[in-house]
Amino acid sequence: MKALADSKTLYQDAKSKIPLWWYFGPLVFLLVMAVSSRIAEVDLSVMLDAKVRHDTFEFVRLMFPPDLSWEFIKFTAKPALETIYISVMGMALAIAIGFPLALFATNSLTFAGVLNEMARGKRSRYRLIGYLCYGLSRMVLNVLRAIPELVWALIFIVAVGLGPFPGVLAIGISYGGTLGKIYAEILEGIDLRPLEALQSTGARRLQVVLYGALPEALPDFVAYTLYRWECSVRSAAILGFVGAGGIGQQIDISIRMFNFNQLLTLILIIFLMVTAIDQLSALIRKRLN
């Protein structure tokens, strides 16, 4: 009986500690889902319509068999490689943009925490400068990633013309904002005690970052960067629809010409490229670990 009473007491104590939003959270979620479904005009019954099912089946039927002729495969080799090149150069530009901004967008490196207290003492102007750098960097990162890469590609096509270069710029700018945000979040989540130990020995801010923060954050940096590289291949393919080069341009042509068997071949090529990059990424992460 005593054990039963103790369990009831524990249950009552646990129940009293449950936040109020735990009760209303599911109701709010269901309400948001209902409103979103209505505004987005979600109607799953449409997929059961006979005409929709017939058109879908007919589209899939026309994709088979894929065009595996040597002439077409050879023709798609160049745009496929171009897509890889766009993604590689775009990611290089994204890292060059995102990493420096991430350092300023990390609050523990700019204005908050023990590192900054030890460095500036009681001089409040350094805190203000650090906070301004933090806020400005966060704002720039928000702007870069708020605009989709497709829109960036349209802007750069107007600026520099058609071809792969606008695709590189679009991926670099858009993914630079994303990488910078994630890099900053990773840096804010690392253990600061080794950094404090370095600073207490007289190390400067740059030395603390290079020899303290980066070695600890590097595995997460590499893992997320490789993941975004996989995503950039798909983005590079999509950018071809607006004239930014790559295999996407050939996909657009195949759709317009109703060559759906060629479309399936191009989709398979993209699948193989993403799979190869995924395997390469796994190998690199394994080496680092």
| pLDDT above 70 (res 1) | no
- 19 and 154 together in one domain: no
- 8 and 84 together in one domain: no
Measure the CA–CA gap between 148 and 133, rounded to whole angstroms: 25
Domain for residue 90, yes or no?
yes
- 118 and 235 together in one domain: yes
Domain for residue 63, yes or no?
no
Parent domain of 249: 76-288
Measure the CA–CA gap between 278 and 276, rounded to whole angstroms: 5
Domain for residue 59, yes or no?
no
Domain for residue 201, yes or no?
yes
Q: What are the pLDDT digits (tens) for 235-268?
A: 888 888 887 778 888 888 888 888 888 889 998 9
| pLDDT above 90 (res 91) | yes
| 113-127, 192-206, 210-224, 266-280, range with greatest mean pLDDT | 266-280
Domain for residue 62, yes or no?
no
- 162 and 252 together in one domain: yes
- 155 and 274 together in one domain: yes
| pLDDT above 90 (res 96) | yes
| pLDDT above 90 (res 129) | no
- 126 and 243 together in one domain: yes
- 21 and 155 together in one domain: no
Tally the domains of the chain: 2
Least confident of 32-36, 124-128, 178-182, 250-254: 124-128
CA dihedral 159, 161, 165, 169 (to 10 degrees): 20
| pLDDT above 80 (res 198) | no
Domain for residue 233, yes or no?
yes
- 125 and 21 together in one domain: no
In CATH, what number is assigned to the domain containing residue 184?
1.10.3720.10
User: pTM of the entire structure?
Assistant: 0.79
- 284 and 150 together in one domain: yes
Whether residue 246 contacts residue 171, with contact meaning beta carbons closer than 8 Å, is answered with no
Domain for residue 252, yes or no?
yes
- 95 and 201 together in one domain: yes
- 7 and 143 together in one domain: no
- 86 and 33 together in one domain: no
Least confident of 102-111, 134-143, 268-277: 102-111
Burial bucket for residue 43 (CB in 10 Å: 0-12, 13-18, 19+):
exposed
Domain for residue 225, yes or no?
yes
